[in-house]
Chain A
Amino acid sequence: MSRTSRIEAAYARARGAKLALGVLTSLVFGVAFVGARSHAPGHAKHRARQLGAPSSFVRAVRRSALQAGKIAPPVQPPAVVTSTS
């Protein structure tokens, strides 16, 4: 084999190795990226949503408005008595 063809063969092997290394690196990055998105708590798993008040806060505010009952003048003798217990 001539000296030139040996050098070309070496270049070809080096190109192949670089390509393989690039593909492998991209693959590892891709797997790590997807894995991190789905498992690591610091990464968003879903599309970002508009910020809103927590439901517990909304419930507390809603309940802050106590609702009145309905009363009327009596029409019969009382069936029961309200008192402190």
Chain B
Amino acid sequence: MGCEVVVAGVEPERVAAVLERWEAAFSLFRAESELSRVNRSQARVVVVSELFASALRVALDAVAASGGLVDPTLGVGWGDVSLSGRLLSRPPGRLLDLNGVVKALAVDDAAGLVEDGGFVSVGGDLAVRGAVDVGLPGGGAVRVVEGGLATSGTASRGSHLIDPRTGRPSRSRWSQVTASGASCLEADVAAKAAYLLDADGPDWLDGRGMPGRFLGEDGEPVLNASWFAATAERAACT
């Protein structure tokens, strides 16, 4: 997937095999991947594999969960993409990019192999099995007790996130948004949506009870209420 993989509590080879399975199916840079074949097909309806169908279903669910902010169609609209069983229907030429959810799905898939106390991190998005201390962008750390943690933003690759509302590269006051979710996928969807929502991001996450940490251009972290409540050191009993 072209990014750093860090694992604990599992043999790296087993994680590599899981990640390779997802990469082989969903890479946009491999001509023989299923995603590339689907994008090349001129048929309106194509039969896809069970893995592809399940990932697309998750991507369409992510559209709903994020209010359309996480879009699997390269920012040109998901309204006429539909899935019935393994039958995918979309206008020919409509390019799908499931990488917005595939990396997180692969992390959650690989985390199923991990023993207690271990974790899988791919490019900084991680899922844990037991408590793990994680370093945060701009300094500081947090203990992830359950679920996943993901960071979205423009810090490492510039403005690569497309805002589906405009179809253009995103503009946000945040350079990086880190969110905590019940899984890596949920954390990833939440972090992307909160990043794109700009000033409304902290409240949007709070409305869902999700902890979020926002790093502004000045490098100063802003915590939403859920993050603050979860990480504030308890006053010692006297």
On whether the beta carbons of B126 and A82 are closer than 8 Å, the reply is: yes
B133 an interface residue at 8 Å Cβ cutoff? yes
Closest to A60 in B: B64
* Interface positions of B (Cβ within 8 A of A): 3-4, 6, 8, 57, 60-62, 64-65, 103, 119, 121-126, 131-137, 141-157, 176, 178, 180-183, 186-187, 189-190, 208-211, 226-227, 230-233
On whether the beta carbons of B64 and A64 are closer than 8 Å, the reply is: yes
10 inter-chain pairs at a CB distance below 8 angstroms, sorted by A residue, are A66-B181, A68-B211, A68-B226, A70-B146, A71-B142, A71-B231, A72-B131, A77-B141, A81-B124, A82-B137
Measured between beta carbons, the chain A residues less than 8 angstroms from B182 are: 66-69
On whether the beta carbons of B123 and A79 are closer than 8 Å, the reply is: no
Interface residue from B135, B142, B186 paired with A66 (Cβ < 8 Å): B186
Interface residue from A76, A78, A85 paired with B3 (Cβ < 8 Å): A85
* A49 CB, min distance to chain B CBs, angstroms: 20
| In the bound complex, CA of A76 to CA of B135 (Å) | 10
On whether the beta carbons of B124 and A82 are closer than 8 Å, the reply is: yes
| In the bound complex, CA of A80 to CA of B159 (Å) | 25
On whether the beta carbons of A67 and B186 are closer than 8 Å, the reply is: yes
The 6 A-B pairs of least Cβ separation, nearest first, read A85-B123, A69-B147, A67-B182, A78-B135, A81-B135, A69-B180
Interface residues in A40-85 (C-beta closer than 8 Å to B): 56, 59-61, 63-85
Measured between beta carbons, the chain B residues less than 8 angstroms from A85 are: 3-4, 103, 122-125, 156-157
Measured between beta carbons, the chain B residues less than 8 angstroms from A61 are: 64
Closest to B137 in A: A83
Number of interface residues of A (CB under 8 A): 27
Closest to B190 in A: A66
Given known contacts A73-B143, A81-B135, A82-B126, A68 and B61 CB-to-CB distance under 8 angstroms: no
Which of A61, A64, A65, A83 has its CB near the most chain B CB atoms (within 10 A)?
Answer: A83
| In the bound complex, CA of A76 to CA of B178 (Å) | 20
Interface residue from B150, B156, B180, B189 paired with A70 (Cβ < 8 Å): B180
On whether the beta carbons of A69 and B181 are closer than 8 Å, the reply is: yes
Given known contacts A64-B64, A70-B147, A71-B145, A84 and B180 CB-to-CB distance under 8 angstroms: no
Measured between beta carbons, the chain A residues less than 8 angstroms from B144 are: 69-71
On whether the beta carbons of B145 and A84 are closer than 8 Å, the reply is: no
Given known contacts A78-B134, A81-B134, A69 and B143 CB-to-CB distance under 8 angstroms: no
Given known contacts A66-B208, A84-B156, A74 and B141 CB-to-CB distance under 8 angstroms: yes
Measured between beta carbons, the chain A residues less than 8 angstroms from B135 are: 78, 80-82
| In the bound complex, CA of A17 to CA of B152 (Å) | 85
On whether the beta carbons of A68 and B143 are closer than 8 Å, the reply is: no
Measured between beta carbons, the chain A residues less than 8 angstroms from B119 are: 79-80
| In the bound complex, CA of A76 to CA of B64 (Å) | 37
| In the bound complex, CA of A76 to CA of B109 (Å) | 27
| In the bound complex, CA of A72 to CA of B157 (Å) | 29
